[in-house]
Structure 1
Amino acid sequence: MSQREPELGREPFGRVGDAEVHRYVLAWPGGLTVRVLDYGGVIQSLEAPDRRGVPGNVVLGFPALDDYVANNQPGASRVFLGALVGRYANRIAGGTFTLDGTTYRLPVNNGPNTLHGGPDGFDAQVWSATELHEPDSVGVRLELVSPAGDQGFPATVTTQVTYRLSRDNRLSITYSATADAPTVLNLTNHTYWNLAGEGNGDVFGHSLRIDASRFCPVDDTLIPVGSPVPVESTPFDFREPTPIGARIDGPDPQLLLAGGYDHNWVLDDADPATPAFAAQADDPVSGRRLTMWTTEPGLQFYSGNFLTEDLVGTGGRPYRRGAGFALEAQHFPDSPNRPDFPSTVLRPGEAYHQETVYGLSTSD
């Protein structure tokens, strides 16, 4: 076994108001290098070797803190590059839900709906950070206290999110949270991947496999309607490896509503105790392979439909439609209004927990 020693560093990355922002560099020599911000818990870059051993950044990001802050302002496109999102990942219909007989109204920021926690969600906050040096990994633990009433949600919620990079080229994200009153909570990370390299064209030639035999159809505001339906004989069947772009511009009504893929898949082998296989993506040119495991019941696959060329990435190149894809492990959209979906209610004395693991390797 290699005796490589991991590296963990911290460097200034600017300021937001009175708060200083840092970038944490997690690295295994010869393996992965991951850069994480304590602003929004953003994965700003992730360098992984291709089949020839040449490293390249495989996630979309901005070069400077000001770009992230500007993207979180009212009227911006809010693409959530690499960010932690909460309190509620994905959409809540009409910006409202009822819990224990009380109706809560949230600010809407995606048509008539609340998206990713609202206009001032977890992705726009500066988190406190603790560096972690462990026997087989290096990491950073981020913590945020969200007060009662934050973006309209009830309860004070204390959240910890830990990024760990291990010697086997795996990046794990572990989420935990507690609340002092009943609330709803649904967290995820919104990293966009391009295994050919950030800014290097679109991802439509990537092959994707999703371990799901059902998905959630949506209405014209991308809120789930009805019950999950079989993927069989639809463009949503990724049970066998299929190029992302093979059917993306077809006449299927669900694709037309979303401008591509922006739907929740119901994972077949979800296990809340242990991360189970969820998805795998391959870039045939670089040979890079991304494998994903999670404890969550759902996977939101988003094909970067709304990326626009005014977004300029870390490499100085613009991002266009399909410049990256997101695999967001989470509970289902609009679950607070859907008692038939897995519950997202968190009560005092309970502990929220989930874990998602990304493995980077190469294919032959």
Structure 2
Amino acid sequence: MDIKIKQLQDNWRVYQLINQNGMMVEVLNFGGIITKVLTPDKNGQVQNVVLGYQNHLDYQSDKNFFGALIGQVAGRIQDASFQLNGKTYTVDKNEGNNHLHGGKHGLHKVIWDVEPFHNQHSVGVHLTYIIHEKGQGYPGNVSLHVTYALTNENQLSLEYKATTDKPTVLALTNHSYFNLSGNIRETIHNHQVSINSSKILELDKSLIPTGSLLDVTNTTFDFRSSRPLTDGISGDHIQHKIVGDGYDHYFIFDQQKEESVTVKEPTSGRMMTIETNQPGMVMYTANNELSNFKYKDGSSSKYLGVCFETQGTPASLHHDNLPSIILNKDETYYQKTVFTFSADS
């Protein structure tokens, strides 16, 4: 295993994590962004399976959140406000009247302190950052520690830890767009996905959760048995139409299983499994054109990647029937998600 560091402009650096199988994960200190995940297909051909820019500078103006660490709260906060211990807090309105993915100056736009490491089990980077209370309107100063680690078993683990000096809210995730065909040879329509979930959060026309839980049985949201993403992209369920034909929904995991999600791409034979301690996940199928992203003929397109955003949901700030994302002073936030890559022989 090895780690390589490249100096970019100013204080930007890119870290390449390489295992003994030729798998490589590339991470920027800007935004904690995963820019590449190179992994073999069934024929041993190593290709990139996440969306990213050829020019690293394009991440400065990126509106797609490609590969980034998301926070302080991932997802949409209704009306960009919430109550905590009887006090109302107002945060940045960066999507209409709502707050999305930490706002205009969220974690995807900061320079993280990075310490690389290399041991007998893995190679990786520790990323640290302090969110100051006066920044985005959230209460408290929050100390963050995120670890990306790559093993020789082709596992990429993302481990998040945080503490705060006063009660606050916190829901972190990573926003990588996966396309297991490799180098975006195809859209994600035929990706076969299974999710250990019998309920999703209903969305209103502004993509804000209503608080109602919808049973997935006999719908195109039922991934308890594997099904292709095209079922929802071309489906006529009103919830697909609301998000622009596809998925952008929070799936609540059922009883904790070792694998919460599996994804297979039939042409390449690649498979990805996801294990997490989080209560649920937003699956987003890139239903809108990816702004500033050049693809093949130079134009952007829909459905080039699919995100699996394991996280708590900000809907819990307005609906009591959902797991809380409140972090208290004497608590430690801990989240771990592991992506394991393989391929049919």
Measured against the shorter chain, the TM-score band is: over 0.9
- Counterparts of 2:232 and 2:113, CA distance in 1: 43
On the 8 A contact 2:317/2:324 being kept in 1, the answer is yes
Q: Which runs of 5+ in 2 are unaligned?
A: none
Q: Letter of the aligned partner of 1:350 in structure 2?
A: E
Aligned twin of 1:363: 344
On the 8 A contact 1:309/1:318 being kept in 2, the answer is no
On the 8 A contact 2:5/2:15 being kept in 1, the answer is yes
On the 8 A contact 1:264/1:333 being kept in 2, the answer is no
Q: Letter of the aligned partner of 1:30 in structure 2?
A: N
Q: Letter of the aligned partner of 1:334 in structure 2?
A: A
Tell me, yes or no, if structure 1 residue 296 matches structure 2 residue 278: yes
Q: Which runs of 5+ in 1 are unaligned?
A: 1-5, 72-77
User: Considering only aligned residues, what root-mean-square deviation do their CA atoms show, in Å?
Assistant: 1.5
- For the residue of structure 2 that corresponds to 1:228, the secondary structure is strand
- For the residue of structure 1 that corresponds to 2:202, the secondary structure is coil
Aligned twin of 2:33: 42
Q: Letter of the aligned partner of 1:22 in structure 2?
A: R
User: What are the equivalent positions in structure 2 for 1:263-278 lying under 5 Å apart?
Assistant: 263-270=249-256, 276-278=258-260
Aligned twin of 1:3: none
Query: Taking structure 1 as reference, are residues 167 and 342 closer, same or farther at Cα in structure 2, changes over 3 Å only?
Result: same
- Counterparts of 2:152 and 2:232, CA distance in 1: 37
On the 8 A contact 2:211/2:321 being kept in 1, the answer is no
Aligned twin of 2:318: 337
Aligned twin of 1:51: 42
- Counterparts of 2:253 and 2:22, CA distance in 1: 29
- For the residue of structure 2 that corresponds to 1:25, the secondary structure is strand
- Counterparts of 2:290 and 2:145, CA distance in 1: 32
The CA deviation at 1:334 is: 2.1
Give the one of 259, 262, 267 matched to 2:248. 262
- For the residue of structure 2 that corresponds to 1:217, the secondary structure is strand
- Counterparts of 1:43 and 1:319, CA distance in 2: 20
The CA deviation at 1:339 is: 2.0
- Counterparts of 1:278 and 1:14, CA distance in 2: 39
Give the one of 13, 16, 22 matched to 2:8. 13
On the 8 A contact 1:199/1:318 being kept in 2, the answer is no
Aligned twin of 1:253: 238
Query: Taking structure 1 as reference, are residues 90 and 340 closer, same or farther at Cα in structure 2, changes over 3 Å only?
Result: same
Aligned twin of 1:157: 142
- Counterparts of 1:281 and 1:24, CA distance in 2: 26
Q: Letter of the aligned partner of 1:283 in structure 2?
A: E
TM-score (norm 1): 0.91
- Counterparts of 2:223 and 2:109, CA distance in 1: 33
Give the one of 88, 93, 99 matched to 2:78. 93
On the 8 A contact 1:44/1:61 being kept in 2, the answer is yes
Query: Taking structure 1 as reference, are residues 79 and 202 closer, same or farther at Cα in structure 2, changes over 3 Å only?
Result: same
